[in-house]
Chains A and B, each alone.
Chain A
Amino acid sequence: SAVISQKPSRDICQRGTSLTIQCQVDSQVTMMFWYRQQPGQSLTLIATANQGSEATYESGFVIDKFPISRPNLTFSTLTVSNMSPEDSSIYLCSATGGDSYEQYFGPGTRLTVT
């Protein structure tokens, strides 16, 4: 299994600012994913972070709003840009690695935009 950590664990930000969330995996992984989860709701995939190439975004999510970096096989960042209160949510990083089908999640970053 992979152990995934995220920073920060929570933050309160002002409208119009940006926040970068870091995701670190304890081993090299093939794919990393970023999800958003509203309280009491299911997980919504934002994008797939590919090492060495551009992230693949799901419908409704755009690179200008959620730029993603994947500089190596153990690390990724998600930036939430020009934030509004509607961006208040939990942001989760996950990863799959090697030949495993198993996908593991980080603890999440709880973002509140005021």
Chain B
Amino acid sequence: QQQVKQSPQSLIVQKGGISIINCAYENTAFDYFPWYQQFPGKGPALLIAIRPDVSEKKEGRFTISFNKSAKQFSLHIMDSQPGDSATYFCAATRTPSGNTPLVFGKGTRLSVIA
């Protein structure tokens, strides 16, 4: 299975700061890159996703930056809040994803402290 490498494994950020999580992929056929947020005891929730035809996508405090040439993408959480404390997973697939499962990174445990 093609890998998606995610870093860091854990992250501690002060309230109001910027959280940055990075992912790198190998398969150049991947063309859909979602991020999932998972709270303890819950299933992963789709947070934001990007296609490689744009370099950035923003939804509220969450932004994905995408670098196709470097095969890297990152999640930025602006004005991080304690409620953002969760595990974040990046993923990738080639569309139509209905036929191709997502490949997940290993996850980043984010702690936002007051």
Give every chain B residue within 8 A of A105 (Cβ-Cβ).
36, 43-45
- Confirm or deny: B82 has a beta carbon within 8 angstroms of a beta carbon on chain A: no
Give every chain A residue within 8 A of B76 (Cβ-Cβ).
none
Asked if B44 contacts A43 (CB within 8 A), the reply is yes
- Confirm or deny: A63 has a beta carbon within 8 angstroms of a beta carbon on chain B: no
Give every chain A residue within 8 A of B89 (Cβ-Cβ).
42-43
Asked if B42 contacts A103 (CB within 8 A), the reply is no
* Count of residues in B whose CB is under 8 Å from the partner chain: 25
Closest to B51 in A: A101
Q: Which among A1, A30, A101 is the interface contact of B49 at CB below 8 angstroms?
A: A101
Interface residue SS majority, chain A? loop
> Contacts A92-B43, A107-B43, A108-B42; is A42 near B106 (CB within 8 Å)?
yes
Question: 1/0 contact trace for B74-108 toward A, CB 8 Å?
Answer: 00000000000000010001011111011011110
- Confirm or deny: A66 has a beta carbon within 8 angstroms of a beta carbon on chain B: no
Question: 1/0 contact trace for B57-87 toward A, CB 8 Å?
Answer: 0000000000000000000000000000000
Closest to A29 in B: B98
Asked if A42 contacts B98 (CB within 8 A), the reply is no
Bound Cα distance from A94 to B99, whole angstroms: 13
Query: How near does chain B come to A44, taking the closest CB pair, in angstroms?
Result: 8
Asked if B107 contacts A41 (CB within 8 A), the reply is yes
Give every chain A residue within 8 A of B49 (Cβ-Cβ).
101-102
Give every chain A residue within 8 A of B46 (Cβ-Cβ).
1, 102-104
Q: Give 3 closest A-B pairs by Cβ, nearest first.
A: A105-B43, A30-B98, A101-B97
Q: Which residues of B contact A (CB under 8 A)?
A: 1, 32, 34, 36, 41-46, 49, 89, 93, 95-99, 101-102, 104-107, 109
